[in-house]
Chains A and B, each alone.
Chain A
Amino acid sequence: MATTAKNELEKPLVPVYVTGGRTFAEVSEDVSRPLETFPTATWWVCFIIATLAFAVGATLLLQTFKQGVGLWGLNQPVGWGDDVTTFVFWVGIGHAGTLISAILFLFRQKWRTGINRSAEAMTIFAVMTAGVAIMTHTGRVWLAAFWLFPYPNQRQLWPNFRSPLEWDVFAVSTYFTISLIFWYTGLIPDIATVRDRAKNKIRKVALTIASLGWRGSNKNWLHYEQAYLIFAGLSTPLVLSVHSVVSFDFAVSQVPGWHTTIFPPYFVAGAIFSGFAMVVTLLVMAREAFNLKHYITMDHLELMNKIIMTTGMLVGYAYAVEFFIAWYSGSAFEKFTFINRAFGPYWWAYWIMVSCNVFVPQLFWIKKFRRSIPLMFVVSLYVNIGMYFERFVIIVTSLHRDFLPSSWGTYVPTAVEWGIFTGLMGFFFIFFLLFCRFLPAIAMGEVKSVMDQPTKKDAKGGAHHA
């Protein structure tokens, strides 16, 4: 045990990914404990709130299915509002998990091991939430599968493969499938660890099936590691492609404010930005609630805050470039759209977006702020709000005043739309809370491989090096 007091002045020569001098057995113990004990009162309170929120949303969605999307504030000229905003918001959030698990893996960023499992879980649930948002926005959702997915039929009718909306169907469903199997592959050895600790017979059987009977044989690890590397390699271009394709939904159209080439990189930066903010929001709570401070350390949070600040500035740069190009294009419509964005009827949405996304994260220039839990929690909430408004601004302000002044209009989300938005938030949190309760929230197998290893000397009874 490395409990001996370390000289405060002595800095570790190698980065410490797990603090508190944990041993392998203690890692398994710490991570499995929340799964093996009855959930705490806090968990139940959160779970009940999430379920109630979801119940509200589900009721309103049912009402929408019965009466139609007329219950929403959508009309000409604003045909996309809160529904598509919510979709893009959640798909964006769903980008951080794969970024952490795939891109940081390829760059050999070992600190990812502490946070990748929960970030990937967040990705999957966020994409599911986005899926619900976009499927229900079609109105008659029971028919959506026929419009969206190409299926062989006697009339030889196919969706329009030249449409970005159809590309989006493929991009998002591929992303969900690949993220899910990537996540499950990562879970297999950890479920095996939990299985081998199980006392209850039914629990053991269930976990044996879920872990596919994994035994940790090195002949298995060989194929496993190879598959994991390939998943990382496949997911890296995939994660960049998904939000690019989402941005094509707008960029391929002719609407001023949408028709820009900057959209793909701008959307990807925004997705990473919002995703990391959501990861910080969730992990700050989870590390407290499940006592995971040795695994999700202050260093992890600081690194994530640095990424939030960087991507926040990328997004800010995109806002500026959009304005510049609107002027430089010489197009009267483009110019008008951007002036209207910042100073028109939706000026408040625009300035909420700029304040939350560009100004607030600048606090992270100061190290003390990057390492302050309450501050980073508040900043991450601001970023979440700002990124909702970014999509709202892009979608609504571009649509509400386009070419013909005679067809201008306004859009205000109705209570039904806000209720559905809240319900989807509940939907996401139900899954996230269940995940924290039933699956190991830290990738034990990966954390063990990057932490302080016992050496030969320890086995012979020598002192554990600090």
Chain B
Amino acid sequence: MHSPQKQTDAPKLAGVLGFFEDPETLIEATTKVRDSEYKDFDCFTPFAVHGLEHAQGLKRSPIPFVTGAFAFSGTILAFLWQYNASATWWPHIIGGKPFNSLPAFVPIMFELSVLLGGIATFLSMVFFNRLPNFSKRAFDPSLTNNRFAIIIESPVVDEHDDEPAPAFSTEKAEQFLKSVGATETRKVYQEGWF
């Protein structure tokens, strides 16, 4: 079935972007945006700005728990594997050592913990960051180069919601960003990479 509303070619409004020239102003501005009425916002920076996550009010990343869980299962897996191979599946006496030669199993237990922990860390970083991201194009090439930005996102319209979404005035958002120190503001649209 066709959807009742024809898809328009005009890209969807993503929000309002305000540019900043230095990390210091950015952090101060982010604190003000966090305390304002705008709840959906994010920052774009060419490098990790320390202290920005607190200014933005972000919670700690859960990645350490994932790493810990996988690293620990690596330890257990490596032990069970070596134990069974050496003591159950085809027991051999080698160098007069007992079948369960635990000290000899330690290096591989360690290596497998690091291997599984490391791979899990990378994959969870990719997962939590929703990478690879091919549906949301970067808003400006300067944001990976030398400038910083805050985006105030336009609220997502949920058609099943009974209450209509609050009106989003781009002018008001632009004014607000200017008032917290943005040197340039503009409306940005959601486009894919390709």
Contact = CB atoms under 8 A, between A and B. Distances in A.
A329 interface: no
Contacts of B111: 167, 170-171, 174, 238, 241, 245
B112 A230 contact: no
A37 interface: no
A178 B21 contact: no
Contact of A231 (B105, B121, B128): B121
A434 interface: no
B101 interface: yes
A117 to B, nearest CB: 14
A156 B58 CA distance: 50
A380 to B, nearest CB: 30
Interface in A208-256: 208-209, 212-227, 230-231, 234-235, 237-238, 241, 245, 248
Contact of A193 (B63, B129, B145): B145
A101 to B, nearest CB: 13
Nearest to A443: B47
A25 B115 CA distance: 37
Chain A interface residue count: which class?
A: 35 or more
A227 B125 contact: yes
Given A224-B125, A234-B118, A241-B110, A205 B46 contact: no
Contacts of A238: 111, 114
A237 B46 CA distance: 31
Contacts of A59: none
A227 B132 contact: no
Contacts of A224: 48, 125, 129
B21 A218 contact: no
B4 interface: no
Contact of B44 (A158, A209, A218): A218
Interface string B129-144: 1011110101101111
Contacts of A177: 115, 118-119
A135 to B, nearest CB: 18
Contact of A215 (B25, B107, B133): B133
Contacts of B129: 219-220, 223-224
Given A170-B112, A218-B58, A459-B21, A162 B104 contact: yes
Contacts of B183: 459
A178 B118 contact: yes
A166 B108 contact: yes
Interface in A148-189: 150, 156-158, 160-162, 164, 166-167, 170-171, 174, 177-178, 181-182, 185, 189
B175 interface: no
Contacts of B46: 24, 28, 189, 193, 216, 444-445, 448
A349 to B, nearest CB: 30
Interface stretch (A366-374, A415-423, A449-457): A449-457
Contacts of B134: 208-209, 213
Contacts of A174: 111-112, 114-115, 118
A162 B94 contact: yes
B122 A181 contact: yes
A226 B63 contact: yes
A167 B108 contact: yes
| Best-surrounded residue of A177, A218, A449 (most CB of chain B within 10 A) | A218
A413 to B, nearest CB: 30
Given A161-B86, A216-B46, A234-B121, A459 B25 contact: yes
A427 B20 CA distance: 46
B165 to A, nearest CB: 22
A192 B47 CA distance: 11
Nearest to A26: B146
A150 B85 contact: yes
In the complex, which of the residues B44, B71, B146, B181 has the most CB atoms of chain A within 10 Å of its own CB atom? Answer: B146
Interface stretch (B5-13, B49-57, B156-164): B49-57
B145 A197 contact: yes
Interface string A77-110: 0000000000000000000000000000000000
B21 A212 contact: no
A170 B21 CA distance: 48
A299 interface: no
Contacts of A195: 144
B86 A162 contact: yes
A223 B22 contact: no
Nearest to A205: B194
23 contacts: A23-B146, A150-B81, A158-B86, A158-B90, A160-B94, A167-B108, A170-B111, A174-B118, A196-B144, A205-B194, A212-B132, A213-B133, A215-B139, A217-B43, A221-B52, A226-B61, A227-B61, A231-B122, A234-B67, A234-B117, A445-B47, A449-B47, A453-B22
Give 9 closest A-B pairs by Cβ, nearest first.
Answer: A24-B146, A213-B133, A196-B141, A227-B125, A158-B85, A226-B61, A218-B43, A212-B132, A167-B107
